[in-house]
Structure 1
Amino acid sequence: MAIIYDAQLDPSKADLVAAWLPAQPWFDGDVAGLRMLAAYRFDDPDGEVGIETHLVQSGDGGVWQVPLTYRGAPLVGAERFLAGETEHSVLGHRWVYDACGDPVYAAALTAVVNGDAAQAEETSVGDDGDPAKGTPRTPSATVHRSGAGLGGAATPGSVSAVADDGTVTRVDSGTVTLAVYRRPEGPVPETSETGALVGRWPGVEDDVLLAAARARTV
């Protein structure tokens, strides 16, 4: 379950994303007029890392997928994936990472694509920060698995390599290779991948491809 606090962030998520996007090799949009369209979350089984993927629209109308992880301490060895830092009025200082470089995100995405987990349920918590007083919240984007699972291969380890191929970011993690589609537009294509994550959000009537996974061959 994802706990959504009624909190202030400084800088805000929108400001942090707008400052980080122009330096990314897969992004060629216009950050002027950037809009946060929707978001979906995964659960960290250990409850330590926030995993949230934003769908944002650039000023030129393009839609981009920005997965982020939120941590209470720096992720050792992941300096190049640091998107920024923010102050959370309830949780304190947070380090925000491009999730493609975070092993917790790789494990969560693999679990969902494999059918071992699902999109996180969201609970909104008031400014007292008490989860016991939370109320259910409907996610602004809905996602689900599509295609076959990965079976015994679905046990990613630490992220060993991340590479950008145009607007697709490929993540090697243990026995799994993930493809994260930074421009999730159009119908779900035929793919050789063995599992996929698809979804929709307001204004999108049909599922679009968000990510895919396949077992690595040695």
Structure 2
Amino acid sequence: MALLHRAEVHPSKIELLAAWLPGRSWFSGEAGADLVRVAAYRFDDPAGEVGIETMLVRAGAGPVHQVPLTYRAAPVDGAETWLVGTCEHSVLGRRWVYDACGDPVYAAALAEAVLAGAGQAQAYFEVDGRREYRAPSMALTTEGAQPAAVPGIAALDRVEDGDPTRIVAGPLDLAVVRRLGAPVDLPGSRLTGSWEGQPTPLPLAYASVR
């Protein structure tokens, strides 16, 4: 479950990404076009400490980009390379927003989703003591998932920031597709997604155990 808050966030997630994305080697967007949100999905952090959200965004007629983000209540030592920026949340206070590909909490959640078919988190609001669920904006499916124990991740061995972005953690090899719709076929189990305007599922991520 992912608890959401009816809150104001400054700068907004889109504003943070609009400033950060053009500096990525894998970004491709229409010059001068505003960045817009296409869809999103979330994973659960079992410890309940880290927000995990993957946003799909596009600039004009450019491709749809997949940007996993983690939201933290404090900065992470040694993770400056992956910092997208900070924002002020009217309920939670200051939040540090990271490119989740450099965050072991995200890697663990992604591995569970791809290898064990854990799926996306159900998002909800608390309203007068009851839960009000929000319909997902994406449908996720897994291919080749094995409902079995997935190796735990305490730290990342290395991250290769490209398209796809490769994450290596112990015996796990993960790959996150950045520009969706381009031809890609990697080994291992696969996570795919579809959304309004994109009824055919597209590859989002791959995972395998060495």
TM-score computed with the length of structure 1 as normaliser: 0.89
Q: Which runs of 5+ in 1 are unaligned?
A: none
Q: Which runs of 5+ in 2 are unaligned?
A: none
Query: Quick check: 104-113 or 171-180, which moved more?
Result: 171-180
Cα shift readout 1:157-206 (whole Å, capped 9, x = no counterpart)? 311211134x210011121011000012168x654x22111111110111
- The 5-angstrom pairing of residues 165-204 of structure 1 reads 165=162, 167-185=163-181, 190-191=185-186, 193-204=187-198
Determine helix, strand or coil for the equivalent of 1:40: strand
> Root-mean-square deviation (CA), in Å?
1.9
Indicate the percent of aligned positions where both proteins have the same amino acid. 49
1:19 corresponds to: 19
- The 5-angstrom pairing of residues 1-218 of structure 1 reads 1-30=1-30, 32-115=33-116, 117-125=118-126, 132-149=129-146, 154-165=151-162, 167-185=163-181, 190-191=185-186, 193-216=187-210
User: One-letter code of the match for 2:20?
Assistant: W
Cα shift readout 1:30-80 (whole Å, capped 9, x = no counterpart)? 362211011000000000000000001112331100100000011121110
Question: Contact 2:112–2:150 (CA<8 Å) still a contact in 1?
Answer: no
Shift of 1:102: 0.3
Cα shift readout 1:79-134 (whole Å, capped 9, x = no counterpart)? 100000000000100000000000000000000111262210010245xxx7x433
Aligned residue pairs, count: 209
Instruction: Output the CA distance in 1 between the equivalents of 2:12 and 2:51.
Output: 15
Instruction: Output the CA distance in 2 between the equivalents of 1:149 and 1:21.
Output: 34
Question: Contact 2:20–2:84 (CA<8 Å) still a contact in 1?
Answer: yes
Question: Contact 1:157–1:174 (CA<8 Å) still a contact in 2?
Answer: no
TM-score computed with the length of structure 2 as normaliser: 0.92
